[in-house]
Amino acid sequence: MSEKNNLREEILEKLKSFGITGKDVYFIDYIPLIEMIWADGQPQQGEMDIFYEFLEKHVAHLNKMAGYSAFKLEDAVQFVAGFLKERPSAEMLKTLRQLAVHAGLFQEDAKKRAQFEKSLLALCLDIGASCVTNYPYGLRERFNADEKRCFFEIFDTFENRRVADISEV
């Protein structure tokens, strides 16, 4: 078995330990966005609007890649529901984020993967900037400190993807 197949199997096993199997493995790309939603401690309507708009586009894109309607929006919504109903542990989200950057879409095509990662990072910024928890907010407080920390942790994970060893996840 090739190193690439070994890595894929290892990722699938780790995802299975979190109860993520079948088509749901294609939805783990949502984890960084879910982290940003929770970064300030509460999901807010503006954040959710951005997130669900992405979900629709992502499912449509998955179906386009598959060449048929392999994925349903309802399945994606059901997948994320558990992550949005109650705040998952930071450790679980970090682990799933690390798995997502290794297993996500376009892993075979570096250019497409880079574009997708940039769009996810841009969505993280949009989510962070969409709502504030306290008004009035100061000049540098549109993003609170927790959102900034979360964004940079996500950014670092994407940047360090190539050097990270999946066995450390």
Question: Is a pLDDT exceeding 80 seen at residue 95?
Answer: yes
Going by the DSSP 8-state scheme, the letter that residue 105 receives in this structure is T
Query: Integer distance in angstroms from the first to the last C-alpha of the chain?
Result: 21
pLDDT digits (tens, 9 = 90+) for 54-87: 999 999 999 998 899 999 999 999 999 999 999 9
Question: Is a pLDDT exceeding 80 seen at residue 149?
Answer: yes
- Residues 111 and 143: their CA atoms lie apart, in Å, by 30
Mutual angle of helices 73-85 and 45-66, in 10-degree steps: 140
The CA-based angle 83-147-33, given to 5 degrees, is 35
